[in-house]
């Protein structure tokens, strides 16, 4: 049901602004007048469809989306028609922006459009992964299963982000404070010492020259840093959005120290848990693998699933391409192979998913304690360099 913003005057002449649900603008006007309000202006509330992915800065955050998806899955499972389910959701959700979007989606579905196509008109809220999974769910007749898995996926994504942010909080604060203190030393202390060293009229050691050079750069060209950092970030984002850049970046993230293994295990856990859920719900394996592929972020691991799907369509084992790629752990491929042979693939996938989820949680919990000594050593080396660059000329002065 469309949502209308209206403005009017009540009996006392006070201006009133509010929203109202109605089938049409005529119905909306009648409802407003029934409230004994003299109507001044009324118009339908529309959403802004701008292409982007879900983020914490958007009007509909992951928490809102996850709750809405779970509620929709429950209603669809109860055999309620999609149009009625969307109408019920529109009344339940608290986010005003999501209310408007659900209103527009409901109108499109009511006019004969599929749910996936209707959601696709709001890319700022629903990602390509979300839309592709809904489309696969509609095609396979297992929409409630897919919606439930989407809710679990968004919840898991939210928890993982929070866990990583929590683990990185202390190292980031420590790094920022250390960088700020070192910057203050170069800007305020090194220049004063440089004047003393210049009065010696002797050749300065190389470390001292480097420190003075950094100090002069920060004093005279600090604005270049403010320009260079955002520019570098923009160019990096543009590079990894290209096909070649994305492949190179995803290859690096898989091999990166500390974080590479976490990236791999998160994708493996997601692959196994989703595939197990879909197969247990009666979704054909080829359809299930198409859905699972859309949940995998890393492009190289995604391509491997495509090869595995092709192998399955030819009557071969799913584990062959997974093992050959080298992107999936040996233990995972071995257990999946055993599941195929025993006819208990779904159960084995569930066991593997739980196992790797525990490993991921354990590694993230230890991330802070692992990064802390590395950062302490790094900052210590920088401070040692500064101290060494200051002490060397002073030693020359004592000799004189």
Q: Which CATH class is domain 259-365?
A: mainly alpha
Q: What is the pLDDT of residue 228?
A: 92
In the prediction, which pLDDT does 370 show? 78
Distance CA 225, CA 228 (A): 5
Residue 35 is classified by DSSP as: T
pLDDT of residue 57: 37
pLDDT of 254 above 50: yes
Question: What confidence score (pLDDT) does residue 53 get?
Answer: 36
CB distance 392 to 208 below 8 Å: yes
Does pTM top 0.85 for this prediction? no
| pLDDT tens digits, one per residue of 92-127 | 888 888 888 888 888 888 888 889 889 988 888 887
pLDDT band per the 50, 70, 90 thresholds, residue 238: very high
Residue in this structure with the two tokens 């109202």, named with its chain if needed:
20
pLDDT band at 400 (very low <50, low <70, confident <90, very high): low
Section 313-327 average pLDDT? 90
Query: How confident is the model over 292-301, as pLDDT tens digits?
Result: 887 788 899 9
Residue 52 pLDDT class (50, 70, 90 cuts): very low
pLDDT at residue number 299: 92
The whole-number average pLDDT for the span 224-237 is 92
- For residue 281, is pLDDT > 80? no
pLDDT at 398: 63
Which tokens go with 86?
A: 């969307």
Q: Is the pLDDT of residue 184 over 80?
A: yes
CA distance 295 to 399: 68
pLDDT-based confidence at residue 338 (cuts at 50, 70, 90): very high
Q: 248, 245, 253, 261: which is closest to 329 by C-alpha? A: 261
Model confidence at 179: pLDDT above 70: yes
**Two structure tokens written together for 167:** 């683990």
**Residue 60 CB: number of other CB atoms within 10 A?**
21
What's the chain's average pLDDT? 83
Q: Is 336 exposed, middle or buried (0-12, 13-18, 19+ CB in 10 A)?
A: buried
pLDDT digits (tens, 9 = 90+) for 359-379: 888 888 787 777 888 888 888
- Give the model's pLDDT for residue 50: 41
CATH no., domain 62-154? 1.20.81.30
Point out the least confidently predicted range of 52-66, 72-86, 251-265: 52-66
Task: Tell me the percentage of the chain whose pLDDT exceeds 90.
Answer: 12
pLDDT at 106: 87
The confidence score (pLDDT) of residue 231 equals 95
Tokens read off for 298: 């890393």
Render pLDDT for 381-397 as a digit per residue (tens, 0 to 9). Answer: 988 888 888 888 777 66
> In which band, very low, low, confident or very high, does the pLDDT at 55 lie, cut at 50, 70 and 90?
very low
Q: Give residue 354's pLDDT band: very low, low, confident or very high (50, 70, 90).
A: confident
As a whole number, mean pLDDT of residues 149-168 equals 80
Which secondary structure element, helix H or strand E, spans residue 152, and what is its range? Answer: helix 143-184
- C-beta contacts of 98-107 below 8 A and 24+ residues apart: 98/59, 98/60, 98/64, 98/65, 98/68, 98/125, 99/3, 100/3, 100/45, 100/46, 100/47, 101/47, 101/60, 101/125, 102/68, 103/1, 103/2, 103/3, 103/21, 103/45, 104/46, 104/47, 106/1, 107/2
20 forms beta bridges with 4
Q: Is the pLDDT of residue 56 over 50?
A: no
User: How much is the pLDDT for 23?
Assistant: 66
Task: State mean pLDDT over 330-347.
Answer: 90
Q: Is 14 exposed, middle or buried (0-12, 13-18, 19+ CB in 10 A)?
A: exposed
CA–CA distances in Å: residue 212 to residues 80, 200, 209, 330: 73, 15, 5, 53
**Whole-angstrom distance, CA of residue 319 vs CA of residue 321:** 6
pLDDT above 50 (res 214): yes
């Amino acid at each position: 049901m469309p949502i209308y913003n209206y403005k009017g005057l009540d009996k006392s002449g006070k201006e009133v602004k509010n929203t109202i649900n109605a089938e049409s603008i005529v119905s909306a006007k009648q409802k407003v007048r029934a409230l004994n309000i003299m109507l001044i202006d009324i118009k339908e509330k529309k959403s802004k469809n701008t292409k982007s992915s879900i983020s914490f800065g958007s009007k509909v955050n992951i928490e809102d989306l996850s709750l809405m998806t779970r509620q929709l899955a429950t209603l669809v499972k109860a055999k309620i028609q999609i149009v009625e389910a969307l109408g019920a959701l529109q009344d339940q959700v608290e986010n005003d922006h999501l209310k408007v979007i659900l209103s527009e989606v409901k109108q499109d579905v009511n006019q004969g459009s599929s749910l996936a196509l209707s959601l696709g008109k709001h890319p700022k809220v629903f990602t390509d992964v979300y839309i592709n999974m809904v489309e696969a769910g509609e095609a396979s007749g297992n929409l409630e299963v897919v919606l439930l898995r989407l809710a679990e996926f968004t919840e898991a994504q939210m928890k993982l982000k929070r866990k990583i942010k929590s683990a990185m909080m202390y190292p980031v604060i420590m790094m920022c404070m250390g960088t700020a203190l070192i910057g203050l030393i170069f800007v305020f202390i090194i220049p004063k010492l440089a004047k003393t060293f210049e009065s010696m009229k002797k050749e300065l050691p190389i470390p001292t020259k480097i420190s003075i050079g950094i100090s002069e750069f920060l004093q005279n060209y600090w604005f270049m840093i403010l320009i260079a950092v955002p520019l570098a970030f923009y160019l990096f984002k543009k590079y990894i959005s290209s096909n070649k850049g994305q492949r190179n970046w995803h290859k690096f993230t898989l091999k990166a120290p500390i974080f590479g293994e976490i990236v791999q295990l998160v994708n493996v856990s997601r692959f196994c848990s989703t595939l197990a859920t879909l197969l247990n719900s009666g979704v054909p394996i080829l359809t299930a693998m198409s859905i699972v592929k859309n949940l995998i972020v890393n492009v190289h691991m995604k391509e491997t699933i495509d090869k595995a799907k092709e192998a399955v369509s030819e009557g071969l084992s799913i584990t062959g391409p997974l093992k050959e790629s080298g992107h999936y752990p040996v233990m995972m491929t071995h257990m999946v192979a055993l599941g195929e042979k025993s006819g208990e693939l779904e159960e084995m996938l569930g066991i593997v998913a739980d196992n790797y989820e525990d490993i991921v949680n354990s590694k993230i919990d230890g991330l802070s304690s692992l990064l802390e000594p590395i950062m302490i050593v790094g900052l210590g080396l920088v401070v040692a360099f500064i101290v060494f660059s200051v002490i060397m000329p002073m030693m020359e002065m004592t000799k004189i």
